[in-house]
Every structure is written in structure tokens, then in C-alpha cells.
Amino acid sequence: MSKTIGIDLGTTNSVVAFKDASVRVVATGPNSEDLCRSCVAMDKSGSFVVGNAPYEQWKRYAPNIVVSAKRLMGASITDPQVQKMKNDKDMYPYGISKKSGGTEDSVAIIMNGQEFSPEQISAQILRQLKEDASVKLGDEVTHAVITVPAYFNEKQKAATRKAAELAGLKVQRLLAEPTAAAISYGADKMSADEDKIFLVYDFGGGTFDLSVLVASGGSFIESGTGGDRWLGGDDIDRLVSEYVLTEAGKTNNIDVHELIETLSEKKKFAFQGELKKEVERAKKALSQPHTDSITIQLFGFLETEDGDDIDIEVTLTRETFESMIRPLVQRTIDLIDELLEKTAYPIDSIDNILLVGGSSCIPLVRNMLSEKYGKDKILSSEKPMLAIAEGAAILSHSMGTEFECPHCGKSIPVGSDECPYCHKSMESSAVQSQEEPGKTGVVFTTKHKYFIETRDDADNVQYSMIIDENQVLPNEVNGKFYTLVDNQKIIAVNLYSDAENGGKEKIGTGFFTIAENLPVHSELQFTFRLTEDETMSVKVRVASTGKIHNINYSQGSLDSHCFEAIQNSFDRVMGDPNISDSQKNGFIDKLQKVIEGIQVGSLSSESKEWQNIETSVQSATTAATTKEEGTDVNVIIAKILLDHFGKFMSSEHKDAMRRELTKYEDATTPMQKNECASNLEELNDKYGLFVSGFLLNISGHDESNPVRANKALVAYNQFMAALNEGNVSRARDILDANQNLIGSDTVISGGFTTAISQS
């Protein structure tokens, strides 16, 4: 019989646990350790190596060694903290960049010159945990409850589910880490008439997570979350490392930082690896109550210009250690006060503060919390870094054999290939389960506020809240919004959640079309539904026609790139006063067909079909922006394709184009010419990328603007080089980055829009 497990997929360390008669952590790796370092390296053969072993051999694998991939899950390359990681090569030696073919909402990890998503890296960790558990438990592991930080938004949760899918695991439930911790502390064993309020304080390696939980008879209601996803043990390590290097510089009267920069790459990685191990050893030692000091030693790594060895031998006292990390601990306490104020729970109403995570083992953390809130409120297990996995295992054990369809939320039997309710395929879905009555129960609530982007009649952007935080899940709400202009044909649905510092983070974009000519401010009736995993689905009913649209919105991969191209093309064409109404109408017709095709399809976010759809959009844009002359524009485009890009096209399409061009030249009636042009248009649509690239070549020979022409010509040569290498994604990126060089600059008038209004 297959087994189910609980997994704490951590930023620094990951843990797997199992429950039958009792709860136990499943040891992993060749040395059978409770903690599996969340570290993935790639060896010279291109194989992945996971866990503690590659971390211990940092110098062997760097820079092809990844830590803290969890911080990049569902993240954007433009996030300031992601940029901070990208620039901190001491902590994160691997490459971090925008995903090829993706948007600014995506992130890629570079190892050995290859591009991987954070989900692919996390999948390697999950796969290792799954395989180790299967061996130790003597049976195949197929399902798991996987924990995530309470603040994770929909994109981050979707990324976690994708990682599990890649690892061959079906997700029973994504469980908030604080809730898992409370379960592990025995809160699920409370009597039926017992009620308690817990504050879970989770100070881990890469994140700090807070949650207020109301426990009643073994069930939990998540009543508020807080914390800082960029605060954790890594920050303590960074402070200690900086202290060691600074003190070593004072002792030797040199700038150690400059000396490190002069090392060869191999020696630098060897030094950094050893420094990491020494700092971690010191931190663990000073977390023991009777250790007052520890000496950090690194010999044989550094030398002067004259070849003299520079040995690092720095003593770190408990007093100094606590002094340097006190501001970080104080920050966690400030965040507690913020959460209690936000949720309107006075500290007197909190029965216990449950300590979780490796950094909570530091005595200063417990002392400062005790001083602030009282020693009796603080509860800590012997090994708080294992608590989250244990709680996940307890919930996993209590789950039944019914699983929740991730598309419609209905319960379906295990092993179903297709949901009997929504008829979506389960083949590649991380299916989630339903709890049995009488077992450990969790009442899930929203962790974020959700917004839809609207505009007023002056085209000012607004964010209308559709779902508030701390709402019980699943949750369904209705809202009325309105078209913004007469005869609006295309509507963009841009969804956001709240982010740190009062900001907004986009979680997806979708489109739908309106065939009828509706007056301005026509009513659109939206239905937003959030599942227990905070997966959003959106339906729109056009009030005047009764037509219902299911919105497929982007998840940050090739789909986002395609939707961004749709919006950019719309803005470019509809905002250009030099484009005729007939060309604009033709463009809108084509764009509507593209969007309608997306709505009836069920493409994954990484399907290559998105690139074909984007090519159709580019072709429609090119046709609309090409000046109308005596010869049909599709004839001109076909000739360009054959003359300049024939070697990249299929023989079948080239032969068909030549036949239609010959027919066009021989045609004697407008009807015959129109038929040929229509056939050519269908063929041209398959190669819109090439035509858009060729427009760079045209701009490159514009003598009226030599500077711009030179830039365009360079971009065109890069574009062609990418095509010759067979790197279509690279060619697309070059085209995207140089759209401003194609044609004349235009100003969007605002008379045409895809936006909606709130009233």
C-alpha cells in the first residue's frame, strides 16, 4: 500500500515526516540525517546532486550550486530582493535572470549555462525526499501534505504545486507552516469544548513567518498572518560573516574583502564554502546555553602579494553575537505587535507563542520574547526545526481518499483521469484531498487582499478590492464592473494581491471578447472564487447578452509573455492615428479570434503553443501597421518571408505561398485577388515573428535618424544570429527589447482601451 508523508520544503533545510501509530521524522541522505539541506548542485556530467553532501563540498560545485531557491518561487526578476540575491554572489553564486521567453514576472536559475525554473530546482529536493522516504518506509510514496509560508500568494503556491508535480508527488494539501507547527505541538488533541488562541513564531533559515491560530476541538482557523519573507537565519549568517572578515582585516591591517576579490574563482568558492561552514558552526555553538564563545578559523586560503599566509582566527563571544543580531530579533517582535494590532487580538488573549524554526533556538530570541510577553506564554519543542514536517505528517495521515479537483474544487476519487464535474484532465494535476469527518481539520482563510485593476473615465489606474484578507475559504464573491468606451471589443482582467510595504503584486492577466456593439458603461458581472489553496478562478457574465466567459489568466511563464504581447500590440495599433479604421477593425477581428481560441483551450503556462499564438498576434500587428498601397499587404508580407526567411520556413508553406502569389498576379477580378490574399494571410500568420524582425531591418536603413537606424541594424543582426542558431526564444527576447526601434513613435490616445471601470 502506498504511503503519504508530510514535507517541510524549507528555504535552508527540508524535512520529511510520516505518521502511523506515532509521528516520526524520516532520515534522509547517505548519512541518515533529520535535516536535508535545501541545496541542489550540478556535477560535471550534468547530473543533479541534492542535500547536505553538495553543501559540504561547496568549493567543488560552485558556482553551479543553488541554495534558497524557495525565495525565488513565484517571484519576479524586478523584485528588489531578487535583485539583491542576484548581486550577492558570496551567498548565491549561481546565475539569476529573467526566464527566456518569459516576462519581468518570471525568474530563471542558471547552472552550467543551462536555464532552470525555481520549480525545477525545488522538484529535485522534493524528489530526493520522496525517494528517501520510499526506501525508509519500505513502500512507494505517492502523496504528500507540503507546507508553505503563510504569506505565500497564489503564484508562489502554484509554483510549489508545479514542483511537486515534477517530483512525481500528488499534493494532498498545501498547508500553512504555522498551522502545521500548531498541529505538531498537539493542538489537534484538544478536547471538543476547549478553545485556545496561538501565535506561531516561525524564525527559519530564509523567512520569518507569523500566524494567529484559533484552535477549537482539533480544528484550526487561521485568523491572521504576518512576518517578513526576506528575514531569516541567512541574515544572521551574513552579519557573522561580515564581522569575521572585518575583525580579520583589523588584525592583519588589510582589507580582506579586496583580497578575496583578487582570488581565482576556484579559490574564492573554496574560501566562501569554508566560511559558510565555520559561521554555521559558530551560530549553532552559541545557540547552546553554556557556550560563551567560539573561535572561527580559516587557514591556508588567503595570502599577501608577497605570498605570506593570512590566517583568519576570530573569537566570537556570546555578548558580541547577541549585540549584532539584537536588531533582527527586535524586528521580529515589532512584526508581532503589528500583527496583533492588525488582527485586533490583544496579547492577553494569546494563550501561547509557539516557537518554530532553527533560528528560534538562539537563546536571545527566547529571552527577548519572554521579556516582552512573559515566560509562561512561550512554548518550544526540543527540536523546533522538525515541528512543521511533523504537523504536515499528522494532517496527511488524517486525510481521506477523496481529492479536491484543482480546477473546480469538487471532491473526486483517487486515480481519476478526469474530473466528473468540470471534465478537466487530472493527468498533470497535483490533486488535493478532502479531510475525513472527525479527523484533524483546518479552516483555511485568505492570507492576502485581492484586487482587480480598473480605470476611471480619465484613464487613471485604480485597484478595486474584490476579496479581503482573513476570509474563510473556499470563498466566492460577485462584483459589478463596466465597459469603459463605446463598442468595447476586448477586456483585460488584471488581478493583483497585496505585497510588502503596501504594494501590489500582479498574480495574473486574462482577456475576453465582446462580439456585440455595447454602449459605454455596459454592465459586466464578475464572479471570483478562491479555493482552499487560494487558487483563483474568474467568470464574467455580460449582463445585456447573458454570455458567460471563463477567464484563463497567466501564471508567469510563456503565457504571460503572450498576454503581454497582446496588450502591447493592442495599445500600439489602436493608439496610432496613422492607422486607418479599416486596418484597426481587421486587427481587432484577428485579436478577438486569438483570445477566443485561448479561452476554449486549456494550455499549460509553459506550452510551446503560446509562442505560436504570439506569432499570430505579431502577424496581425504587422498587417495593421503596414501602409495600405495598391498591392495587398499580405502579398507584400509573403514576398518578404520568401526572400529573407525562406530557409527557416517549411517547404510546404513556401510552395503554397508561391502558388498563391502566382495566382494573385494572374488574377483578373478583385474577388480572385481577395481570395489569394486571404490564403496568404493564413500562411503569413504562421511567421509573424519573422516579419516583425524584418521591420527592424527597415528601421535600420532609415537615413532620417542615423542613431536609431544603427541600433535597429545591430538588433536585426542579433535577431538573425539567434534564428541561425535555432534559438527562437532568444530571437523573441531581442524583438521584445527593441520594439521601440520599429516604425514611428506613437502616443496612446486612450480612446481605445481594454480596461474596465468600477462604476
Give me the pLDDT at residue 706, please.
82
Give me the pLDDT at residue 746, please.
34
Q: Which helix (H) or strand (E) holds 614?
A: helix 609-625
Q: How would you classify the pairing of strands 461-467 and 450-455?
A: antiparallel
pLDDT, one tens digit per residue, over 303-315 is: 877 777 888 999 9
Whole-angstrom CA distances from 209 to 166, 200, 301 are 27, 8, 37
Give me the pLDDT at residue 41, please.
97
pLDDT, one tens digit per residue, over 104-131 is: 888 999 999 899 999 999 999 999 999 9
Q: How many CB atoms lie within 10 A of CB 606?
A: 17
Give me the pLDDT at residue 453, please.
95
CA 578, CA 590: separation in Å to the nearest integer?
A: 19
Give me the pLDDT at residue 499, please.
79
Facing residues of 513 across strands?
A: 490
Q: What is the mean pLDDT of residues 474-483?
A: 93
Amino acid identity at 350: I
Q: What is the mean pLDDT of residues 563-573?
A: 90
Q: What is the 3-state secondary structure (H, E, C) of 492-561?
A: EEEEEEECHHHCEEEEEEEEEECCCCCCCCCEEEEEEEECCCCCEEEEEEECCCCCEEEECCCCCCHHHH
Give me the pLDDT at residue 602, please.
76
Closest CA to 7 of 154, 170, 159, 187: 170
Statement: residue 333 has pLDDT above 60: yes
CA 584, CA 578: separation in Å to the nearest integer?
A: 10
CA 629, CA 217: separation in Å to the nearest integer?
A: 77
pLDDT, one tens digit per residue, over 624-643 is: 887 655 567 788 888 888 98
| Residue 1 pLDDT level (bands cut at 50, 70, 90) | low
pLDDT, one tens digit per residue, over 587-626 is: 899 899 999 998 887 788 888 888 889 888 988 888 888 7
Q: What is the mean pLDDT of residues 85-106?
A: 87
pLDDT, one tens digit per residue, over 548-560 is: 999 988 877 788 8
Statement: residue 429 has pLDDT above 60: no
Lookup: cell for 458: 480619465
Give me the pLDDT at residue 274, please.
93
CA 722, CA 716: separation in Å to the nearest integer?
A: 10
Statement: residue 350 has pLDDT above 90: yes
| Residue 714 pLDDT level (bands cut at 50, 70, 90) | confident
pTM of the model: 0.72
CA 87, CA 91: separation in Å to the nearest integer?
A: 9
Statement: residue 266 has pLDDT above 80: yes
| Residue 188 pLDDT level (bands cut at 50, 70, 90) | low
Walk across the sheet containing 475-483 and list its strands: 548-551, 536-542, 523-530, 475-483, 756-757
Statement: residue 751 has pLDDT above 80: no
CA 319, CA 322: separation in Å to the nearest integer?
A: 5
Statement: residue 649 has pLDDT above 80: yes
Question: Where is pLDDT greater, at 527 or 712?
Answer: 527
Statement: residue 335 has pLDDT above 90: yes
28 three-state secondary structure: strand
Lowest mean pLDDT segment, chosen from 54-63, 285-294, 423-432: 423-432
Question: Dihedral, CA atoms, 241, 245, 250, 256, nearest 10 degrees?
Answer: -160
Statement: residue 257 has pLDDT above 50: yes
Closest CA to 700 of 747, 726, 738: 738
CA 202, CA 628: separation in Å to the nearest integer?
A: 64
Q: What is the mean pLDDT of residues 649-657?
A: 91
pLDDT, one tens digit per residue, over 209-232 is: 898 988 887 677 888 888 887 888
| Residue 189 pLDDT level (bands cut at 50, 70, 90) | low
Give me the pLDDT at residue 314, please.
95
